[in-house]
């Protein structure tokens, strides 16, 4: 009931992310390079991880401060990276290039509609290219937003038919070459080969505060244990069920008056928020994985 | 990535809300009445307000435990209420009767899409009958959900034309006889006569933690003051700008890296959650107003 | 830097807590009784537990509104309770009678000093009668507050000597006939017979968000798993390690920059708050246990 | 009830903080310098403030990685700073040099006891040298911790006598040459000359979520307004009452059942936490002030 706030879009940026064994002089090497190409750093974050002995950084540079083409920046930086040692892993992306996202769903609509709304408002730097469902329930909702919906039925009980279904899902998803495959309450366990194919790109929301309540019906598990907070966890999918690197978690207070159905309803809000943060950070190259953990430069 | 939770719907209930000057024996009178008609209480909440000397209660009774028609229950309870004194205010509603909701919007879609999604999922006991916008921007989104959209342009600067526009909005809204008029980031200040006509039914979301940052551009005010948390407030609309009885508030942590545009984006999540809770509690008859404050039996 | 707030003490109250199999008319029976003895209810809370089919309530009645001695109220209410069935469990306490608390500690001072400070400020209705430590480290701190400290050394490795030490702890504690035995970071596992002797009175703080990270070094477990929030859990002690009925939990946000030592430091604040809430609610008769869960009328 | 966590102390570090008008090459200049002196950076944080056009950084360097005496590092860095322009403000501190803290109090003990406990546990890099009270109430508590207590009575109503009292407080405080003067619920408004003398070192806790409820009795103001969350704010003291740069804020949920006395009690926990965080960050050189705002590299 008051006048409008205006949102200004972030300018186009080059995003550099890097991880390497820690030693002195890394920051100097990187910032020296950026200065050399005239780069104006708008965001910079660092992390020295004592336990692993690794160093991680993310730097955002205004694209208009750098005169070189992105590929030229990449090839020059490759030399800097090489000097930081053979284990160094790095990436340079251009926020001007839209990322693509595919979403997997079952029947629950809350995460899907939230992501569709955010994408339509431009809240994250990616375009939802398609939605794949093992049930047809969310076709109508998806298509209202102008996004193609693929229904791939999953037969229960028949392992071979299920493997076929996963094969089909994988072909559909891979056809979009997505930067993120978002499991938005997708109620099927990805087989190991699919986990591997999508490693570092498949993002799941689990409806508990992991590592509590792994597996099926976590709200019912929470009810039985009598916890006073329920939670949700966004994590990268690995072959180890609900044990992949955690990107984000949050919780919500409950009390003795909540039955499992109340928890399911209230939990939706936490699932939605936690998943949307995780997806945005992933698409903005804010998440670096090492081992089974993440560095999140949020 | 785990198997489904099932949501069981709450059974049909009769909801009794009551406020009266406090004294001994009120609970005994009410619970005696409910016992007499065979009522099975599934939820009961009480509040004795020391500062005002008033007593408030909300009771949910399983409809199938009571053999009488609702109107008969009402007329019998009227006698109990009368014995509690002439100032007693009470209400008995039947959750089997769907409530109707009209939403007012401007250009921001986040609260609207959230409410449309929740209504479609059946998360609150009401049906969205129409959306009215002073801009046409959200017509398409609204109509995708099968809800009628009314565009009422608001001329700037011309007071008489603005009064006409409000007259038209009011006629449209009143045509639906709504139980709730939700101002979902509606960027016009309701005139006093409209506030009065919709008293106790018009619910606004203000994008600050009131009473801080009343009026225009609260995120910019928050940025200038350097606060470390931003917030949102859901309140009943009164003729006194942003000063009506508060239903719900929440906050979200920010830091020095947030510019106003970042706050606007992050604030949307808090606005959305806070508004949806306020609307649900209102529709579930959980909010009792006294003076400029509320009792919320959440 | 502004003028004083004044705290008014709550008036003396009678607190009735009750649990029984649910049926219609319970509230009418209880509130009828309270009305009959002239009782002015200042707080009343109810819970119908669907899954167990039990009903729970807590009622606070101003002591000065009731003319009868407390024992007479008890003996009259016993008849009401009897009519609610043989399984009914109830209790009537008088807030005018101070409760007694014994605290068990090891070396960490944060929970102890917090409880000593709250007791000195009168924040909970109980008096700390003694502190027992398996190390002497906290003797000085305890004695500064005028509380006796008992040092009972726990030999490592020798089961018989450990059993003797627990025997001594139990004799000391039982000598105070405490309403609460608070394990304020006491680093010894109570043997089953002690758990049983103190059932419903022994309150522990565990430094994780249970059921995650049961047992030793939970912050190190949390660090290894890469969670994004750490937590603490206050629960009644049972023979089943870290699995007793949960009274209260809370969490605190961390990120990749936190090493285990940082978590230990930040975790202290959550442990302290969660334990102090649990102890206060217990002493105010706000916690009702059923099975392995609690109803907390906070 | 589980085995001990061990806290490892942070190694001795040199902490560099710097603010200057933003331009390209600042990070390269600073990190180049640190590399040159062999410095191992363990923590580094940066902030480019768009609205002011300033750049801020904080860097922690392991002291044992630098062979030069601290003064030599300072004099060499002065040249780097000079190249960053005449407006550049910087500071280099050695965590091996303990900071000194003086605390001002009135009658409320909760913040004082919390700070005494943290100091005794070594939770922040400073030593509490003295406590000054305008009432004698907290003398006993202070002295139990072996800290000198100075009682300076503040006559009410007599401006000249009050000025004298402040003169005396200032002489006592200045005698300790403190790095932080902590107003731990000190219920007197500092006069402008004292604010100026202690600028950037005097830290206050205000018991509301500023800018709401400036001035006296904020919990009563909050009660009257019917807010659903109460808060606390830690800020640097300036001559403008409750309007200095905010270091930290937090909130706590309340509801209609809370009277002002309940808010006062619950508010203590938030005040305590918020003040202790602010004091620690200040003593760790994590807070940089610009204008009426802060950058907090927490």
> Quick one: pLDDT at residue D9?
54
In a domain, B252, yes or no: yes
Neighbours of C105 (CB within 10 A): 26
Mean pLDDT of chain A: 94
Last residue of a domain, one of B94, B129, B146: B94
- Return the SS3 of D44: strand
Distance from CA of D265 to the nearest CA of C (A): 8
- Return the SS3 of D19: strand
Q: Are C108 and C241 members of one domain?
A: yes
Q: Over the stretch C253-289, which tens digit does the pLDDT of each residue have?
A: 999 999 999 999 999 999 999 999 999 999 999 999 9
In a domain, B126, yes or no: yes
Neighbours of D256 (CB within 10 A): 18
> Quick one: pLDDT at residue A9?
54
The answer to whether residue B6 scores a pLDDT higher than 70 is no
Q: Encoding tokens for residue D263?
A: 């808010």
The answer to whether residue A6 scores a pLDDT higher than 70 is no
Confidence of residue C3 (pLDDT cuts 50, 70, 90): very low
> Quick one: pLDDT at residue A156?
84
Q: Are D283 and D142 members of one domain?
A: yes
Task: Print the domain residue range for B82.
Answer: 13-94
CA distance linking residue D157 with residue D271, whole number of Å: 29
Which of B6, B216, B273 has the CB atom closest to A3's CB atom? B216
Residue A146 phi/psi, 5° resolution? 75, 20
Q: Are C215 and C259 members of one domain?
A: yes
Q: What percent of chain C has pLDDT over 90?
A: 91
In a domain, C3, yes or no: no
* Spans in chain D with pLDDT lower than 50: 1-8
Q: Over the stretch C43-89, which tens digit does the pLDDT of each residue have?
A: 999 999 989 999 999 999 999 999 999 999 999 999 999 999 999 99
Is B103:B126 a contact under the CB 8 Å cutoff?
no
Contact check, Cβ <8 Å, B35/C25: yes
> Quick one: pLDDT at residue B239?
94
CA distance linking residue D53 with residue D51, whole number of Å: 6
> Quick one: pLDDT at residue A10?
67
Last residue of a domain, one of A66, A94, A122: A94
Contacts of A48 in chain D (CB under 8 A): 41-43
Residue of C nearest to D219 (CA): C5
> Quick one: pLDDT at residue D59?
95
Which of D247, D251, D296 has the CB atom closest to B229's CB atom? D251
In a domain, B243, yes or no: yes
Contacts of D24 in chain A (CB under 8 A): 34-35, 38-41, 65
To test the contact with chain A by mutation, choose from D13, D14, D22, D46 the residue with the greatest count of A C-beta atoms within 10 A, namely D46
Of the candidates C148, C159, C24, C5, which has an alpha carbon nearest to the alpha carbon of residue C84? C24
In a domain, A44, yes or no: yes
Which position has the higher pLDDT, C8 or B239? B239
The answer to whether residue B17 scores a pLDDT higher than 80 is yes
> Quick one: pLDDT at residue C9?
54
| Domain count within chain A | 2
Contact check, Cβ <8 Å, B40/C24: yes
In a domain, B3, yes or no: no
D291: domain CATH number? 3.40.50.170
- Helices of type H across B19-156: 26-36, 70-83, 110-121, 139-144
Q: Encoding tokens for residue A237?
A: 């999918």
Q: What is the mean pLDDT of residues C12-34?
A: 95
> Quick one: pLDDT at residue C2?
36
Contacts of D223 in chain B (CB under 8 A): 51
> Quick one: pLDDT at residue B60?
95
Is C164:C145 a contact under the CB 8 Å cutoff?
no
Is A84:A54 a contact under the CB 8 Å cutoff?
no
CA distance linking residue D144 with residue C142, whole number of Å: 11
Distance from chain centroid for Cα B169: 19
Q: Are C171 and C227 members of one domain?
A: yes
The answer to whether residue B11 scores a pLDDT higher than 90 is no
Q: What is the mean pLDDT of residues B263-267?
A: 97
Q: What percent of chain A has pLDDT over 90?
A: 91
Q: Over the stretch A9-68, which tens digit does the pLDDT of each residue have?
A: 568 999 999 999 999 899 999 999 999 999 999 899 999 998 999 999 999 999 999 999
Residue C211 phi/psi, 5° resolution? -85, 10
Last residue of a domain, one of D94, D109, D126: D94
Distance from CA of B41 to the nearest CA of D (A): 22
Is C265:D123 a contact under the CB 8 Å cutoff?
yes
The number of helices, as runs of H, and strands, as runs of E, in chain D is 8, 13
Q: Are C154 and C120 members of one domain?
A: yes
The answer to whether residue C197 scores a pLDDT higher than 60 is yes
In a domain, D248, yes or no: yes
Q: Are A175 and A236 members of one domain?
A: yes
Q: What percent of chain D has pLDDT over 90?
A: 91
Which of B24, B41, B42 has the CB atom closest to C39's CB atom? B24
Q: Are D64 and D177 members of one domain?
A: no
A69: domain CATH number? 3.30.70.260
- Supply the Cα-derived Rg of chain A in whole angstroms: 21
Q: Encoding tokens for residue A291?
A: 């081992």
To test the contact with chain A by mutation, choose from D31, D67, D84, D253 the residue with the greatest count of A C-beta atoms within 10 A, namely D31
> Quick one: pLDDT at residue A158?
86
Q: Over the stretch B118-170, which tens digit does the pLDDT of each residue have?
A: 999 999 999 999 999 999 999 999 999 999 999 999 988 888 999 999 999 99
Residue A183 phi/psi, 5° resolution? -90, 95
Q: Over the stretch A183-196, which tens digit does the pLDDT of each residue have?
A: 999 999 999 999 99
Three-state helix/strand/coil letters over D158-212: CHHHHHHHHHHHHHHHHHCCCCEEEECCCCCCCCHHHHHHCCCCEEEEECCCCCC
Instruction: Give the ipTM of the model, two decimals please.
Output: 0.93
CA distance linking residue C256 with residue C244, whole number of Å: 31
Mean pLDDT of chain C: 94
Q: Are C81 and C224 members of one domain?
A: no
Three-state helix/strand/coil letters over D99-167: EEEEEEECCCCHHHHHHHHHHHHCCCCEEEEEEEECCCCCHHHHHHCCCCEEECCCCCCCHHHHHHHHH
Residue of A nearest to B4 (CA): A217
The answer to whether residue A4 scores a pLDDT higher than 90 is no
Q: Are C56 and C84 members of one domain?
A: yes
The answer to whether residue B9 scores a pLDDT higher than 90 is no
Q: Are B27 and B77 members of one domain?
A: yes
Distance from CA of C94 to the nearest CA of A (A): 25
Which of B31, B40, B65 has the CB atom closest to C28's CB atom? B31
Residue of B nearest to C61 (CA): B24
The answer to whether residue B117 scores a pLDDT higher than 80 is yes
Distance from CA of A90 to the nearest CA of C (A): 19
Catalytic residue among A179, A242, A269, A285: A242
In a domain, D152, yes or no: yes
- Residue length, chain C? 298
Query: Given 3-state DSSP classes, what are the helix, strand and coil percentages for chain B, each rounded to the nearest 5?
Result: 35, 30, 40
Q: Are B132 and B264 members of one domain?
A: yes
Q: What percent of chain A has pLDDT over 70?
A: 97
CA distance linking residue B101 with residue B114, whole number of Å: 14
Mean pLDDT of chain D: 94
> Quick one: pLDDT at residue A187?
94
Q: Are D177 and D85 members of one domain?
A: no
Question: Hey, what's the torsion of the CAs at B61, B65, B68, B73, to 10 degrees?
Answer: -20
- Return the SS3 of D54: strand
Instruction: Note the pTM of the prediction, 2 decimals.
Output: 0.95
């Amino acid at each position: 009931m008051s006048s409008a706030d205006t949102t200004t879009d972030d300018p186009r940026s080059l995003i550099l992310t890097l991880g390497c064994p820690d030693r002195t002089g890394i920051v100097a090497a990187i910032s020296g390079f950026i200065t050399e190409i005239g780069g104006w750093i708008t965001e910079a974050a660092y992390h020295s991880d004592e336990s692993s002995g690794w160093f991680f950084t993310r730097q955002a540079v205004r694209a208009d401060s750098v005169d070189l083409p992105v590929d030229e920046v990449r090839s020059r930086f490759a030399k800097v990276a090489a000097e930081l040692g053979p284990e160094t892993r790095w990436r340079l992306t251009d926020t001007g290039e839209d990322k693509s996202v595919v979403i997997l769903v079952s029947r629950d609509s809350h995460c899907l509609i939230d992501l569709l709304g955010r994408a339509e408002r431009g809240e994250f730097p990616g375009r939802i290219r398609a939605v794949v469902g093992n049930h047809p329930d969310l076709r109508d909702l998806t298509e209202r937003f102008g996004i193609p919906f693929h229904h791939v039925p999953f037969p229960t009980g028949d392992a071979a038919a299920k493997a076929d279904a996963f094969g089909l899902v994988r072909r559909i998803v891979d056809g979009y070459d997505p930067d993120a495959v978002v499991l938005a309450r997708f109620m099927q366990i990805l087989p190991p080969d699919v986990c591997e194919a999508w490693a570092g790109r498949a993002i799941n929301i689990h409806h508990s505060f992991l590592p509590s309540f792994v597996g099926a019906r976590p709200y019912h598990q929470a009810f039985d244990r009598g916890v006073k907070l329920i939670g949700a966890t966004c994590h990268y999918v690995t072959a180890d069920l609900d044990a992949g690197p955690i990107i984000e978690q949050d919780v919500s207070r409950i009390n003795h008056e909540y039955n499992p159905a109340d928890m399911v309803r209230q939990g939706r809000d936490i699932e939605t928020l936690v998943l949307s943060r995780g997806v945005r950070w992933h698409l903005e190259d804010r998440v670096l994985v090492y081992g089974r953990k993440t560095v999140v430069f949020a």
